[in-house]
Amino acid sequence: MRLILASAILAVAAAAGAHAAPASIAPPVVSPQPVAPRAYDPAPWWMDKPVIPAIGYVTTEVPANRANLSATYDAVDREVADATKAAAAKAKAISGALQAFGADKVRVETRFTVTPLYEQYREKSGAMVDNQRADKIDRYQVSVAFEVEIRDVRLVEPVYAILMSAKPSQSGAPNFYLEASDAVRTEMFRLAVEDARKRAEQAAGAAGTKVGAVRLIDPTARGCETDELLALAGRIYDNAVPRPVAAPRAAFQAQGEVQELVVTSQKIARNAGLRPEDLQLPVQPPLERLTGKACVVYSLG
């Protein structure tokens, strides 16, 4: 009887196992393979055929065409209204003389500050100390600061003379700089492209071949700085020496127009009690270096 019952149990278990879902098997763990670093840059589209890239360099020296001047004027009085009135009158006279040059040539910026001057007392050690209290204000100092941007450097001398003739409490030396025009930048790029052509022709001739059609012109010159030929290479053009070229001509107004502006500003200054013609000093703008480059890719053969 027991043997029959055990056989029945085994038969039921076998039938249940036949209908049960198969056990899930975990997929094998595959370790990711390390990706080897790329040894070369991908070749650009213009290298599908033999080419010769060339960078043209130009450098020149152009006279500075901008200048900045600064000056500060103070008025001191026991009443803040009187000090402000005196400072405003001086600022108005200076502004009138400077505005005669025209806003396209001389731009003026002014700032006002009011500083209380306190009563002072001497300590036992002999040092002077201010009474930093509102009820101990002795006088008021009103300062007007001028920041002048000169866009025609031939006007630096008369503008400087006007600022100095008003007896500033502080002043700065002329600060010259170059603001290259679009015409000058375009001319520099044209000269750089010409230089690239000469470099390419010399290199092709030395290699026994000829320069063909242009495949790429890049004004940023980055197109000629790929590293697809040598792994981990540095930029091969960084140390090239630019060739000097003649300075592009800058467009100036007629000298007679500038002289007329100077005379007009001097009349306004004299009417305000200033004599700038007595303080005009010779000023020579410095030369500023300007460089340009361009990448040109030519086909060979």
In tens, the pLDDT along 126-139 reads 787 777 778 888 89
Give the residue extent of every domain in the chain. Answer: 45-62+181-251+292-300, 66-177
**Which top CATH class is 66-177?**
alpha beta
Mean pLDDT of 250-270: 76
- Decide if 55 contacts 298 (C-beta within 8 A): no
**At residue 238, does pLDDT exceed 60?**
no
Which of these, 143, 152, 53, 97, lies nearest to 279 by C-alpha position?
Answer: 97
Q: How confident is the model at residue 5, as a pLDDT?
A: 44
Diameter of the chain measured on Cα atoms = 140
Mean pLDDT of 5-18: 47
Q: Which residue has the higher pLDDT, 161 or 17?
A: 161
**At residue 249, does pLDDT exceed 70?**
no
Report pLDDT digits (tens) over 41-98.
Answer: 677 777 788 899 999 999 999 899 999 999 999 999 999 999 999 999 999 999 999 9
Structural Rg of the chain based on CA atoms: 40
Is this model's pTM higher than 0.75 or not?
no
**At residue 18, does pLDDT exceed 60?**
no
CATH of 45-62+181-251+292-300, one of 3.30.110, 3.40.390, 1.20.950, 3.40.1350: 3.30.110
Distance CA 145, CA 82 (A): 18
